[in-house]
Amino acid sequence: MEKFQWAQARTLEEVQEQVTATTSQLTSGQKTTDTSIIKAGGVDLLDLMKEGLATPEKMIDIKAIPGFKTSTYDAKKGLKIGAGVTLSMLQKQKEVKEHYVALYEAISHAATPQIRNMATIGGNMAQRTRCWYFRSEDHQCKKKGGAVCFAQTGQNDIHAIYNTSICPCVHSSSIATALMAFHAEVEYLDQKGKVQTVLLTDFFTPPEVDVTRENILKPKEIITAITIPVPSSDTKSYYIKQGARESYDWALADVAVALEIKGNTCKKAAIVLGAAAPIPFRATEAEGFLLNKTIDEDMAIKAAEMVLQKATPLSGNSYKIPMFKAIIKNCILKTIS
Note whether residue 200 is domain-resident: no
Residue 329 to residue 331: CA distance in whole angstroms: 6
Note whether residue 320 is domain-resident: yes
Pseudo-torsion of CA 79, 84, 85, 87, nearest 10°? 120
- The DSSP bridge partners found for residue 185 are 199, 227
Note whether residue 27 is domain-resident: no
Structural domain span for residue 239:
235-334
Q: How many CB atoms lie within 10 A of CB 269?
A: 24
Note whether residue 76 is domain-resident: no
The enclosing domain of 300 has a CATH number of: 3.30.390.50
Asked if 144 contacts 53 with a C-beta cutoff of 8 angstroms, the reply is: yes
pLDDT along the chain (337 residues), means of 10: 88 93 88 85 90 91 91 97 96 97 96 92 95 94 95 96 97 96 98 96 97 95 97 97 80 97 94 98 98 97 97 97 98 95
At residue 252, φ and ψ (nearest 5 deg) are -85, -30
Residue 106 to residue 324: CA distance in whole angstroms: 16
Residue type, 271: I
- How would you class 34 by CB atoms within 10 Å of its CB: exposed for 0-12, middle for 13-18, buried for 19 or more? exposed
pLDDT value for 38: 93
In 62-144, which ranges are E strands?
A: 71-74, 78-82
Note whether residue 251 is domain-resident: yes
Asked if 27 contacts 35 with a C-beta cutoff of 8 angstroms, the reply is: no
Contacts of 52 (CB under 8 A, 6+ apart): 137
pLDDT value for 263: 86
Note whether residue 218 is domain-resident: no
Note whether residue 282 is domain-resident: yes
Length of the chain: 337
Angle between helices 101-108 and 174-181 (to 10 degrees): 180
pLDDT value for 250: 86
Asked if 225 contacts 185 with a C-beta cutoff of 8 angstroms, the reply is: no
Asked if 171 contacts 214 with a C-beta cutoff of 8 angstroms, the reply is: yes
Asked if 22 contacts 139 with a C-beta cutoff of 8 angstroms, the reply is: no
Nearest to 325 by CA among 336, 313, 337: 313
pLDDT value for 249: 77
Asked if 79 contacts 228 with a C-beta cutoff of 8 angstroms, the reply is: yes
Number of domains in the chain: 1
Give the DSSP letter of residue 144. G
Asked if 219 contacts 21 with a C-beta cutoff of 8 angstroms, the reply is: yes
At residue 298, φ and ψ (nearest 5 deg) are -65, -45
Helix (H) or strand (E) holding 272: strand 265-274
Residue type, 139: H
Residue 240 to residue 105: CA distance in whole angstroms: 8
